[in-house]
Amino acid sequence: MTNTFEFAPKVNDKLSDAIAKERESIGFYDLCDQDVAPYLELASKVEQNNIVVIGIGGSALGASAVHHFLDLVRSFDKKLHILDTTDPLILESKLKSFDMHNAFYCLISKSGTTIETIAVAKYIDAVERLQNDNCVVITDENSALEKFADARGIGHFEIPANVGGRFSVLSSAGLIPLALVGVDITALLEGAAKVRNAFFNDEGYCNNLMKKATFYAQQANTYNINCLFSYSEVFREFNAWYVQLWGESLGKKQRHSELHVGLTPVGLIGPTDQHSFLQLIVEGKRDKSVTVIKIKEFNNTMRIPNNSFEHLEAMDLINGFDFSELINMQADSIIEALDSLDNIPLDVIEIESVNASEIGQLILYYELLTALVANMLDINAYDQPGVEMGKIILKEKLKSK
């Protein structure tokens, strides 16, 4: 994975010290050093063909992002299903897509009291009782959900207390369902460690990330919308993970003022969104930065045939190209077009190929970038008081019925 970021703002010398200090108390930085043997041992014992995540937000988006990234290039023996909604139409459709009696359920909630998660778990339990041979619980230590697991004799794993939900993809919350499906979680963590180590050893990632974070923070009032333009469908769920990470971490009130700040994330998929959102970027208000993500090697030989359509002979210029060549030429064309315009900050991330190590690198890269921007904006990246307010109101509404 490489990133080209050509803007060169002056970086605050104290930023690297602040991140090093934060690393002492915030847990996501060192998740790539954990022992995954217990997760792999569990995976070796699970016989069910359907792995079902019951969780929402950070308890589901990370695993979904990694699995979707890899699922289009390799076949897994087991299928992953994500139950992350209380929408009855979607929920019913998802439950019909697999055999509930041939499923292993990952019941995931950091707090242990997430209403959406518990509601879905109650429904499933009424159909197929959740117990040790078909369920694992992943939650905070001593949470009510962990106590439920103990009461039922269900095995459980803890999410580190200093790892927030949206930063938990590389914790047990993400690694266990991924291991159960068959993802190489060791390679995933090795990729993350590569970026982490390069950053803290002051290698290329450090300077690049520091410049990028500084630019985003210094220009937050001008370029308050950050567009992630990902040129492959494999990134669709990653984009969703990024939107939560960026929005929930960076939309805050500053620690030492009453000022509300934030950067708005937009996830786009190329070439599809060339035919929709691109117009707004090119000719709309200059309040958007763009990061293009592309894949260097698709390892796919699907090719456009050398045939002609009547009256469309002019389109024969695409004949003989691999589709992977075409999509990368589309990405490069958009990069060149945006680069030629004034006042549209642009950078490019290139993934070497679609594998577990590369997505691990990308995850850690964005977690680090989020932490750096938050420090520059003088906000707490790891709380979400705006979300908690809605949860409190919902509970009061439920009590009043």
Please give the DSSP secondary-structure letter assigned to residue 101: G
Identify the residue whose tokens are 């242990």. Answer: 112
Length of the chain: 401
Cβ–Cβ under 8 Å, residues 311 and 367: no
**What is the C-alpha to C-alpha distance for residues 202 and 304, in angstroms, rounded to an integer?**
44
**What is the C-alpha to C-alpha distance for residues 300 and 261, in angstroms, rounded to an integer?**
43
Is 94 known to be catalytic?
no
Is 92 known to be catalytic?
no
Could you check whether the bond before residue 345 is cis, i.e. omega within 30 degrees of 0?
A: no
The C-alpha angle with vertex 244 and arms to 240 and 247, in degrees rounded to 5, equals: 125
What is the DSSP pairing of strand 252-253 with strand 260-261?
A: antiparallel
Tokens linked to 243:
């939107």
Single out the catalytic residue among 78, 79, 94, 391.
391
Kindly report the number of other CB atoms within 10 A of residue 356's CB atom.
Answer: 21
Give the CA distances from residue 265 to residues 208, 240, 247, 375, in Å, rounded to whole numbers and listed in that order: 20, 10, 6, 18
Single out the catalytic residue among 248, 252, 294, 358.
248
Is 211 known to be catalytic?
no
Q: Residue 368's closest CA among 215, 245, 244, 185?
A: 245
Single out the catalytic residue among 10, 275, 399, 401.
275
Point out the residues that are catalytic.
248, 275, 391
